[in-house]
């Protein structure tokens, strides 16, 4: 009996290790390629090509600089990304887009979440149920009227055009309501007895208590907007207005792609989100878990 | 004002911004999708008057004379040779429909005003064709400046019925959902169960499995497009078994499957964390009691753990269905063959590459219906299962 359990435990462990390798491998491999030159001069001064498809890759971390795929590592690809494309501008665009959307969502979703959880008014639960139902609406299905709306307002290739349809996320309202529902009633009741007005109760008592929820919503929104693809693809047509996800196509050649550049660009847009994830992991898990429990 | 009334007032006030945003950017587009689906909405016709031009340049071409050589006395001579349709079609360069030709003809054009503005040099600034027409077209022609789609009833739907690419994309979307959702759910469950033991590195695994889901689908697509190339790493690894290399993304038989595998890879870790949180809420005493009763691990898994995770499963499967049915980014980045695209991509293609927005809207309605239908069926099955279980008890 004991032995059987040991075996199953080892088997489970093997599953975890294999899947961890499968999860990490594409990132590590891309990272190595992003530091690999296309050609290099060997010890004899002869120009040599590099085979990034080499398998298993020839890797030597103990040389200086370290060697990947048999070639000395270089940061040149990263510099080149900024030279051949307005990559700095795209970073700025993506930052502005993500920051504006996040800021708006914190305010609007926060207010609505509080009202739906803590204030009593007629039709509250019906309205909330209705809003939740729109979560099922697939964005591609309503993309045409949304585009025409923004286009008729003359907002193609503008930040307003990018941001407007994203000012409030249904999921954000859900998340904030959930959090306010779980806060204890006592403190707010004490405030009511003290005769505090509703704005005072909301802004000076409840919102500060909801700080973790606001941080979680902020991070979640920022990440999703940073990674957003379909909407920026449709609203931006000028290179100067691209976000990072749309700009990535720029590195895809029509005949062949310079993979080290492509991977450098990919790593540059991916790394900030992975770092954000590492430093604020507990908030990510909070969003994930609180959405799963209530089904 | 009573406290009760104040509370309602603030309640409505606080949800007002959200209601406005959802009203404009969710409810209105939903209604319009349905309306456009009954029309021949033409994206190129809609935007053809948005073009910018300099009226003075166009008029110099039209009259064949330089503005510097002209004087106020030339007005009546210019008025006689002016032809509005020729100006718009030849000198500005916008093709007109027969209806527009008659609406914008000299009869409805304020010729006196345009020649006057031209000679007084009021037209040197760049404006859109729409603004230009608004200035000079009068009477019945004005209505033709603004694009109005024609009501065509169920034409779009019958077009879809006859369109083989519509059927292919519909089938691809359904297949995508039917294959990806069970795989990602089972994989997530398997990983969660594996990680839910007292083992070293549980936190490490949780962190690692989550990473693909914080990465943009555009970036992941680029990484996988390199993995999937013919001389790529995947072919080299499976080549060890002697299998010939496959051009995964360019071969129409494997392209969609390759994207599905990538999709499962991206989401399984995310849902694993959801399952793990659920597993950690199951009291150890329940499992121990079952073990003492001599239940096999398989029995414990299927009869105790899986039913207790039902909330998580409903959430994961519902979210899975909704997101897989609208998969777009990865198809846009990786698929080249129209035989392998999904319905979302085919909507995009029709609306923004062919300009056929009426047809795209009709396909949007189909996508709506599909999401509702599949979610509904799933909820139905789940509910029935619960009823059966309750009866058993």
Write a three-state SS string for A79-122: HHHHHHCCHHHHHHHHHHHHHHHHHHHHHHHHHHHHHHHHCCCC
Task: Give SS3 for A40.
Answer: strand
Query: pLDDT band at B389, cuts 50/70/90?
Result: low
Task: Give SS3 for A43.
Answer: coil
Q: Which residues contact B193 (CB under 8 A, 6 or more apart)?
A: A12, B275, B279, B301, B305
The answer to whether A276 contacts B214, with C-beta atoms less than 8 Å apart, is yes
Mean pLDDT of B315-325: 92
Sign (positive or negative) of CA dihedral A211, A212, A213, A217: positive
Find, among B244, B258, B219, B243, the residue nearest to B336 by Cα.
B258
Instruction: Quote the distance between the C-alpha of residue B292 and its chain's center.
Output: 53
Mean pLDDT of B181-188: 96
Instruction: For Cα atoms B286, B291, B292, give the angle at the middle one, nearest 5 degrees.
Output: 100
pLDDT of residue A108: 97
The answer to whether A149 contacts B237, with C-beta atoms less than 8 Å apart, is no
pLDDT of residue B390: 56
pLDDT of residue A63: 81
pLDDT of residue B362: 97
Judged against a pLDDT cut of 70, whether residue A93 lies above it is answered with yes
The answer to whether A119 contacts B233, with C-beta atoms less than 8 Å apart, is no
Judged against a pLDDT cut of 70, whether residue B384 lies above it is answered with no
pLDDT of residue B392: 55
> How many Cβ contacts (< 8 angstroms) between chains A and B?
279
Distance from CA of B50 to the nearest CA of A (A): 10
In chain B, what residues touch A55 (CB-CB under 8 Å)?
A: 233, 236-237
In chain A, what residues touch B27 (CB-CB under 8 Å)?
A: 134
Cβ-based burial of A251 (10 A; exposed 0-12, middle 13-18, buried ≥19): buried
pLDDT of residue A294: 44
- The verdict on A108 touching B (C-beta cutoff 8 Å) is yes
| Among candidates B209, B367, B368 on the partner chain, residue whose Cβ is nearest the Cβ of A19 | B209
The answer to whether A24 contacts B211, with C-beta atoms less than 8 Å apart, is yes
Orientation of helix A87-118 relative to helix A124-133, angle to 10°: 150
**pLDDT digit string (tens) for B100-127?**
888 898 989 999 999 999 999 999 889 9
Give the chain A residue whose CA is nearest to the CA of B350.
A144
For residue B351, CA distances in Å to A79, A234, B96 come to 37, 10, 21
Give the chain B residue whose CA is nearest to the CA of A34.
B223
Mean pLDDT of A118-124: 93
pTM for this prediction: 0.90
Rounded Cα gap, residues A15 and A47, in angstroms: 44
In chain B, what residues touch A145 (CB-CB under 8 Å)?
A: 28-29, 32-33, 36, 361
Give the chain A residue whose CA is nearest to the CA of B191.
A16
Which site among B219, B235, B312, B330 would you substitute to test the A interface, given the most A Cβ atoms closer than 10 Å to its Cβ? B219
Query: Using only C-alpha atoms, what is the Rg of chain A?
Result: 25
Judged against a pLDDT cut of 70, whether residue B47 lies above it is answered with yes
The answer to whether A138 contacts B322, with C-beta atoms less than 8 Å apart, is yes
**pLDDT digit string (tens) for B208-229?**
999 999 999 999 999 999 999 9
Judged against a pLDDT cut of 90, whether residue B183 lies above it is answered with yes
- Per the prediction, chain A carries an average pLDDT of 90
Give the chain A residue whose CA is nearest to the CA of B239.
A55
**pLDDT digit string (tens) for A123-165?**
999 999 999 999 889 999 999 999 999 998 989 999 999 999 9
Find, among B44, B45, B36, the residue nearest to B155 by Cα.
B36
- Percent of chain A exceeding pLDDT 90 equals 65
Give the chain B residue whose CA is nearest to the CA of A23.
B209
Mean pLDDT of B378-383: 81
Instruction: For Cα atoms A170, A175, A180, give the angle at the middle one, nearest 5 degrees.
Output: 125
Find, among A141, A232, A215, the residue nearest to A172 by Cα.
A215
A194, A133 in Cβ contact below 8 A?
A: no
Which site among B185, B215, B269, B293 would you substitute to test the A interface, given the most A Cβ atoms closer than 10 Å to its Cβ? B215
Rounded Cα gap, residues A97 and A102, in angstroms: 9
The answer to whether B30 contacts A142, with C-beta atoms less than 8 Å apart, is yes
The residue to which tokens 């949304």 are assigned: A146
The half-sphere exposure of B128 on its side-chain side, counting CA atoms within 13 A, is 11
pLDDT of residue A295: 37
- Per the prediction, chain B carries an average pLDDT of 91
Is the peptide bond prior to A65 cis by the omega test (within 30 degrees of 0)?
Answer: yes
Q: Which residues contact A199 (CB under 8 A, 6 or more apart)?
A: B10
Tokens representing B258? 């390759």
In chain B, what residues touch A107 (CB-CB under 8 Å)?
A: 17
Strand duo A67-68 + A59-60: pairing? antiparallel
Judged against a pLDDT cut of 60, whether residue B28 lies above it is answered with yes
Phi-psi region of B283 (alpha: psi -120 to 50; beta: other; left: phi over 0): beta
The answer to whether A55 contacts B233, with C-beta atoms less than 8 Å apart, is yes
Which site among A145, A149, A261 would you substitute to test the B interface, given the most B Cβ atoms closer than 10 Å to its Cβ? A145
Mean pLDDT of B187-191: 95
The answer to whether A291 contacts B237, with C-beta atoms less than 8 Å apart, is no
Distance from CA of B53 to the nearest CA of A (A): 17
**pLDDT digit string (tens) for B50-84?**
888 999 999 999 999 898 888 888 899 999 999 99
- The verdict on A248 touching B (C-beta cutoff 8 Å) is yes
Query: pLDDT band at B158, cuts 50/70/90?
Result: very high
Rounded Cα gap, residues B95 and B98, in angstroms: 10
Mean pLDDT of A210-233: 95
- Percent of chain B exceeding pLDDT 70 equals 97
Judged against a pLDDT cut of 80, whether residue A1 lies above it is answered with no
Query: pLDDT band at B391, cuts 50/70/90?
Result: low
Query: pLDDT band at A286, cuts 50/70/90?
Result: confident
pLDDT of residue A16: 93
Mean pLDDT of A224-252: 95
Which site among B3, B4, B12, B14 would you substitute to test the A interface, given the most A Cβ atoms closer than 10 Å to its Cβ? B14
Rounded Cα gap, residues B355 and B358, in angstroms: 9
Q: Which residues contact B349 (CB under 8 A, 6 or more apart)?
A: B338, B341
- The verdict on A130 touching B (C-beta cutoff 8 Å) is no
Mean pLDDT of A233-242: 95
- The verdict on A198 touching B (C-beta cutoff 8 Å) is yes
Query: pLDDT band at B388, cuts 50/70/90?
Result: low
Strand arrangement of the beta sheet that strand A59-60 belongs to: A59-60, A67-68, A71-72
- The verdict on A19 touching B (C-beta cutoff 8 Å) is yes
ipTM, two decimals: 0.92
């Amino acid at each position: 009996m004991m032995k059987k359990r040991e075996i199953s435990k080892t088997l489970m462990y093997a599953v975890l290790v294999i899947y961890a390798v499968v999860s990490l491998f594409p990132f590590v491999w891309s990272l190595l390629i992003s530091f690999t030159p296309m050609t290099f001069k060997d010890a004899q001064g002869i120009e040599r090509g590099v085979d990034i498809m080499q398998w298993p890759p020839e890797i030597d971390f103990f040389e200086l600089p370290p060697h990947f795929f048999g070639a000395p590592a270089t940061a040149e690809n990263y510099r080149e990304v900024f030279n051949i494309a307005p990559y700095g501008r795209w970073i700025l665009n993506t930052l502005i887009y993500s920051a504006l959307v996040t800021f708006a969502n914190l305010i609007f979703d926060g207010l609505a979440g509080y009202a739906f959880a803590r204030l009593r008014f007629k039709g509250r639960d019906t309205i909330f149920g209705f809003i939740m139902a729109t979560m099922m609406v697939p964005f591609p299905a309503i993309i045409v009227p949304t585009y025409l709306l923004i286009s008729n307002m003359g907002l193609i290739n503008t930040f307003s055009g990018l941001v407007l349809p994203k000012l409030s996320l249904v999921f954000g309202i859900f998340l904030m309501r959930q959090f306010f529902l779980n806060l204890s009633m006592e403190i707010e009741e004490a405030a009511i007895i003290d005769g505090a007005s509703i704005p005072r109760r909301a802004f000076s008592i409840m919102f500060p208590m909801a700080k973790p929820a606001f941080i979680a919503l902020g991070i979640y929104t920022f990440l999703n907007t940073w990674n957003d693809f379909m909407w920026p693809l449709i609203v931006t047509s000028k290179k100067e207005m691209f976000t990072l996800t749309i700009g990535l196509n720029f590195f895809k050649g029509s005949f062949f792609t310079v993979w080290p550049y492509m991977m450098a660009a990919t790593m540059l847009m991916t790394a900030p989100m992975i770092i954000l994830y590492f430093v604020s992991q507990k908030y990510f898990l909070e969003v994930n878990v609180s959405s799963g429990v209530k089904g | 004002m009573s406290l009760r009334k104040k509370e309602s007032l603030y309640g409505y006030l606080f949800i007002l911004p959200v209601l406005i945003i959802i009203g404009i950017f969710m409810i209105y587009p939903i209604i319009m999708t349905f309306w456009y689906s009954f029309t021949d909405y033409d994206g190129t016709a809609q935007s053809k008057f948005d073009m910018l031009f300099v009226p003075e340049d166009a008029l110099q071409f039209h009259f064949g004379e330089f503005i510097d050589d002209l004087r106020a006395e030339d007005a009546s001579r210019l008025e006689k040779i002016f032809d509005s349709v020729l100006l718009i079609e030849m000198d500005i360069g916008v093709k007109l429909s027969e209806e527009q030709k008659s609406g914008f003809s000299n009869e409805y054009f304020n010729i006196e005003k345009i020649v006057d503005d031209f000679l007084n040099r009021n037209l040197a600034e760049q404006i859109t064709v729409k603004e230009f027409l608004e200035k000079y077209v009068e009477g019945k022609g004005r209505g033709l400046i603004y694009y109005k789609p024609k009501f065509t009833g169920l034409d779009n739907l019958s077009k879809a019925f006859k369109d083989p690419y519509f059927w292919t994309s519909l089938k691809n979307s359904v297949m995508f959902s039917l294959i990806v959702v069970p795989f990602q759910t089972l994989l997530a469950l398997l990983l969660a169960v594996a990680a839910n033991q007292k083992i070293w590195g549980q936190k490490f695994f949780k962190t690692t499995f989550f990473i693909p889901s914080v990465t943009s689908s555009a970036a992941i697509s680029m990484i996988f497009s390199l993995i999937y190339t013919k001389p790529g790493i995947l072919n080299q690894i499976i080549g060890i078994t002697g299998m010939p290399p496959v051009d995964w993304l360019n071969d129409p038989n494997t392209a969609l499957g390759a994207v599905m595998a990538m999709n499962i890879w991206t989401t399984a870790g995310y849902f694993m964390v959801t399952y793990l949180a659920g597993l950690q809420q199951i009291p150890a005493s329940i499992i121990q009691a079952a073990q003492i009763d001599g239940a096999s691990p398989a029995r414990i898994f299927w009869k105790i753990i899986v039913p207790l995770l039902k909330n998580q499963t409903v959430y994961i499967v519902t979210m899975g269905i909704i997101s897989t049915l609208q998969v777009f980014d990865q198809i846009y980045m990786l698929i080249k063959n129209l035989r392998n695209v999904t319905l979302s991509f085919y909507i995009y293609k029709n609306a923004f590459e062919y300009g056929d927005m009426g047809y795209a809207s009709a396909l949007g309605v189909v996508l709506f219906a599909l999401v509702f239908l599949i979610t509904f069926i799933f909820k139905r099955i789940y509910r029935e299962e619960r009823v059966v279980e309750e009866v058993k008890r």
